[in-house]
Amino acid sequence: MRASLCCLLAASTRALRQTPVTPAKLLRKAGAAGLAAAAITAAPLACLADGQTDKFKLPPINFKDTTRCVFKSSAMGQANGARDTLADFRQCSMGGKSADGYDLAGAIMSEADFTSASFRETVMSKAYARDSKFTNADFSNGVVDRVSFDGSDLRGAIFANAVLTGTSFTNANLEGADFSEAFIGDFELRNICKNPTLSGENAKTGAPTRASAGCRQ
């Protein structure tokens, strides 16, 4: 039963990736996949990653993999971060590199350097991105839902028109970040607005950080 559900999720995401769509359309189309995911029982699948759970046990880093620190779009990507092998960027230096339009759902991105990296229109659902450096990174038009950016440096990052539902920024540095037109849930927005670093304006877009997120001054 669980294997068939994984296949259903894979098929749903492949369908999404075949036709360029906006984040809002992605949300509507992902509804069916979300219902399928909800049917999975409480016992975790081996192929599931979850950026929002403290119980997710990270596998050991495979330092012998010479291609590990290279952005690759997975054809096996699935809407809830389910895949046979998770992309693992821990301790990688990815500054200035581009993953535009890639499927990085469920990727392990903690303790790495993504300074000025580009994730425009990238699917990063349930990525585990804690304690990393994302200064001046661009997530515009991306699907960045249920990601944990806890403890990460996001100064100057751009989330314009990105989907950020369920995404956590606890103890993250958001100074100068741009959230213009981002899709943020009410709960997440309340937490973002409480972040003491939410100040300044984005050096690239000129957007005032607090106002772009929809927070009261």
178-208: pLDDT as tens digits: 999 999 999 999 999 999 999 999 999 999 9
Q: State mean pLDDT over 75-89.
A: 61
Q: Is residue 189 part of a domain?
A: yes
Question: Which domain does 47 fall in, by range?
Answer: 1-57+69-217
Q: Is residue 76 part of a domain?
A: yes
Q: Is residue 64 part of a domain?
A: no
Closest CA to 109 of 213, 101, 158, 99: 99
Per-residue pLDDT at 11 exceeds 50: no
Kind plus residue range of the DSSP H or E element containing 34: helix 23-38
Q: Is residue 13 part of a domain?
A: yes
State how many domains the chain has.
Answer: 1
- DSSP per-residue letters across 58-109: PPPP-TT-TTTTS----TT--TTSB-SS--B-TT-B-TT-B-TT-B-TT-B-
Q: Is residue 62 part of a domain?
A: no
- What CATH number does residue 4 fall under? 2.160.20.80
Q: Is residue 63 part of a domain?
A: no
Per-residue pLDDT at 57 exceeds 90: no
